[in-house]
Structure 1
């Protein structure tokens, strides 16, 4: 049986005022009429919403390399490197999750369950379920779980997070420090926060001052109607405890994750923009003759970008996607991710002072020309090495510069990896001979004598690695 909020709730505010109504935009301020109304607090809301927030216990097995006693010695380290064999290490992870459907769809953070081999989910009423990850994405720090043999579970509805406003009351529900389910209150402190986390630049968060601590990750940030605003994911703190600056992943991105998971996707698919950009600051706005300081300036476009096909040029300013403002590359990535693949988005473009709305097709990065990956066999000096032709799909997967061309390392394998080769290295040459296609690599390696040299391009810097065969 679905358990969701079916009636407006009443809450006491700081000065004895309270908000009532099914939507925050329709709230009206009233004077409490009785002692029971004054003492009501958040109890009815918590009673309705808390059962849909779960505790997650995950076990992650990592392969760690034994540290050689000569690891810091520049001479002996090379000799003893091969003896430092990987050893399994069990890491236990504790976090929270939110039930989003009666049949056991749960959302949490990637850093809680993304690499877990064993996951247990415990509900508010102490029922315990085994679970598996059905979709996860490290860049967005989101993971979708499916509980085994679950039905008729309480769940939360997803709110349109673009309608959230600064100053709204909010509750954070989770399992901080493993002490058990805990509720903390606050307000929405900020929107469209970017650059607060790591990953690949897709950070785009709602900020709240509701206390969030370790263990709250994956828990719920809800509004006064019990709808899910976002998934608590990180804090800004020097001590590791809450300083009143917490961040949640907006519900609109969670909705797209759930949709793709239910459609059977095994990897989260986000549209490819094929561009790089920078926020418009005061100096840029003045140089471009803009009346306002907003938008993202396009600084580079890949020839196969769908924005090129739609007529965009370097120097254009993107100010909105589907009517929502865009002021940074992170916001652009978020808006396209929410829109999803297969359709079109309305992109508001500013060029030479004139604004226009342009339809852009949303598609994944094309695999053209074919990447044609090759894995080297045991007859070559570097068995297990995987190389491929660089194309838009490879650029997007490895986060290479848009201008990258040639051949790239997808997987260094055991031998090249020990010698310092990394995934994402662009192979410029082997033994002084240029490399233009994947098949050039095994051919040139087989022509090596007692010594072999790889000329690589790594994050814009040239690297030369020498090997004795």
Structure 2
């Protein structure tokens, strides 16, 4: 072997076969610029201008410390135009843009402006208020720059990231920071939102819907919220992970107008120190299941109350919101491998991810003008309605899905669960429809509203 071959072999042996993540090792590396990353990523980040019309009430007593409160509903209403701004990310060359739902909510007109100042009208094709995501389609757009997705499960605390957006409407701006924390959440099972990546990259009003990208210019998350008492950035910003964003975009591309998230059909809580000790765990981890609906895919797979779900598809789940996030990223129709503990034993089950079932059928009814509850729309509670109205798993009976006319005047609201009318229990929509034909002039309706029992009384 020649001297050159020996040197080459030694050099190759000392060279890592995979890329390393490490801090700068020299002054030269510290002086390196992110400009190439920004030049590649920034053209796919857009400014969004949304216009909405709201009804505002104008009172002659406005500003008066006494009469303004006394006559708060006095005065005529008239339409008022409100403008909002935010950011978005182009995720498909044919003009598909993802942003935050709150940026475009109730907008009557949306204008999207690219970095090169091209302007497009846009329409919302999928809205998901729960996850605060919206997908827009630009009119007559083609061959647009696109920001590629990165697997957000591979992101680690300490990774460098750039936040790109339009803070305060001053124009596209880039700020740098790191991933400060993973799995920020505080939401119970059954809701699905509230799972974020945390970053100290400056995020301000107007950055909402903008891109959080890694050092290779790949989309890590959609910037959505900050913690601040002043309204400005305090270095505590949150982004929706790209894996969830990708799942929402995929459904929009398939023609869906609402994001269909898998239904867990369980109630549970994060395992804390006290629980882990009582369960005999060496460290607090996982989500302990306290209740399972009979149709829950986890129940079908064999899980029971008291089981502790540790991982889904090998990724840890340490809060209910993280559990729902993992399921949502996989999507309806997929399967997930659930690792769980039961009586100290480690078990694995294959769980088929399903949409909340329409069983029993809704049996939706709208009561006519010849009834005491004219304008009331009701349906039979099933898992789909539980998910839509955030009802507990044990909910049963009849739910109000709409209320107008006499029903609204009586105080009924969508989401109310009707327990009884004039002392008679109401188990089905047919029971309510029959009871509403009574000729009684005095009425008592017992309901559950947001889990609290209420009694409505009125005369007709």
The offset of 1:88, in angstroms, is 3.8
1:9 is aligned to none
3-state SS, counterpart of residue 379 of structure 1:
coil
Given the alignment of the two structures, is residue 245 of structure 1 paired with residue 240 of structure 2, yes or no? Answer: no
3-state SS, counterpart of residue 92 of structure 2:
coil
The partner residue of 1:118 within 90, 109, 118 is: 109
Would the alpha carbon gap of residues 183 and 336 (structure 1) be closer, same or farther in structure 2, given more than 3 Å must change?
same
Given the alignment of the two structures, is residue 457 of structure 1 paired with residue 452 of structure 2, yes or no? Answer: no
Describe the superposition over 1:284-328 as per-residue Cα deviations: whole angstroms up to 9, x where unpaired: 111111122100000111111111111110000001111111011
The offset of 1:23, in angstroms, is 8.6
The partner residue of 1:264 within 251, 255, 260 is: 255
Aligned residues of 2:91 and 2:146 also touching (Cα < 8 A): yes
The partner residue of 1:44 within 30, 36, 45 is: 36
Using the alignment, how far apart are the partners of 1:130 and 1:448 within structure 2?
55
2:196 is aligned to 205
Would the alpha carbon gap of residues 66 and 362 (structure 1) be closer, same or farther in structure 2, given more than 3 Å must change?
farther
1:31 is aligned to 26
Matched ranges for 1:267-282 at <5 A? 267-282=258-273
3-state SS, counterpart of residue 333 of structure 2:
coil
2:47 is aligned to 55
Using the alignment, how far apart are the partners of 2:99 and 2:367 within structure 1?
38
TM-score if structure 2 supplies the norm length?
0.89
Would the alpha carbon gap of residues 244 and 453 (structure 1) be closer, same or farther in structure 2, given more than 3 Å must change?
same
3-state SS, counterpart of residue 37 of structure 2:
helix
1:254 is aligned to 245
Aligned residues of 1:22 and 1:225 also touching (Cα < 8 A): no
The runs of 5 or more residues in structure 1 that have no matched partner are 1-20
3-state SS, counterpart of residue 100 of structure 1:
strand
Using the alignment, how far apart are the partners of 1:66 and 1:382 within structure 2?
33
Aligned residues of 1:64 and 1:87 also touching (Cα < 8 A): yes
2:292 is aligned to 301
Using the alignment, how far apart are the partners of 2:30 and 2:235 within structure 1?
26
The offset of 1:410, in angstroms, is 1.0
2:6 is aligned to none
Aligned residues of 1:455 and 1:463 also touching (Cα < 8 A): yes
Matched ranges for 1:240-389 at <5 A? 240-389=231-380
The offset of 1:411, in angstroms, is 1.4
1:442 is aligned to 433
Aligned residues of 1:135 and 1:261 also touching (Cα < 8 A): yes
Aligned residues of 1:188 and 1:207 also touching (Cα < 8 A): yes
Using the alignment, how far apart are the partners of 1:387 and 1:64 within structure 2?
31
Comparing 233-242 with 373-382, greater Cα deviation is found at 373-382
Given the alignment of the two structures, is residue 158 of structure 1 paired with residue 153 of structure 2, yes or no? Answer: no
Using the alignment, how far apart are the partners of 1:449 and 1:347 within structure 2?
55
Given the alignment of the two structures, is residue 432 of structure 1 paired with residue 423 of structure 2, yes or no? Answer: yes
Runs of 4+ in 1 over 6 A off after TM superposition: 21-24, 65-69, 83-86
Matched ranges for 1:1-40 at <5 A? 25=20, 29-31=24-26, 40=32
Describe the superposition over 1:93-116 as per-residue Cα deviations: whole angstroms up to 9, x where unpaired: 110001111111111000001321
Aligned residues of 1:51 and 1:124 also touching (Cα < 8 A): yes
Aligned residues of 2:191 and 2:321 also touching (Cα < 8 A): no
Describe the superposition over 1:188-242 as per-residue Cα deviations: whole angstroms up to 9, x where unpaired: 1001111299x94511000000010000000000110000100000000111110
3-state SS, counterpart of residue 157 of structure 1:
coil
Using the alignment, how far apart are the partners of 2:159 and 2:261 within structure 1?
30
- Name the count of aligned residue pairs: 439
Aligned residues of 1:171 and 1:186 also touching (Cα < 8 A): yes
Using the alignment, how far apart are the partners of 2:393 and 2:20 within structure 1?
43
Using the alignment, how far apart are the partners of 1:116 and 1:22 within structure 2?
51
Using the alignment, how far apart are the partners of 1:390 and 1:264 within structure 2?
28
1:411 is aligned to 402
Describe the superposition over 1:57-78 as per-residue Cα deviations: whole angstroms up to 9, x where unpaired: 0112335577898xx99xx99x
2:413 is aligned to 422
Using the alignment, how far apart are the partners of 1:238 and 1:22 within structure 2?
47
Describe the superposition over 1:404-458 as per-residue Cα deviations: whole angstroms up to 9, x where unpaired: 1111111122443344222111101122222121122232122142222211112
Comparing 452-461 with 364-373, greater Cα deviation is found at 452-461
Describe the superposition over 1:259-305 as per-residue Cα deviations: whole angstroms up to 9, x where unpaired: 10001111101111100100101111111111221000001111111
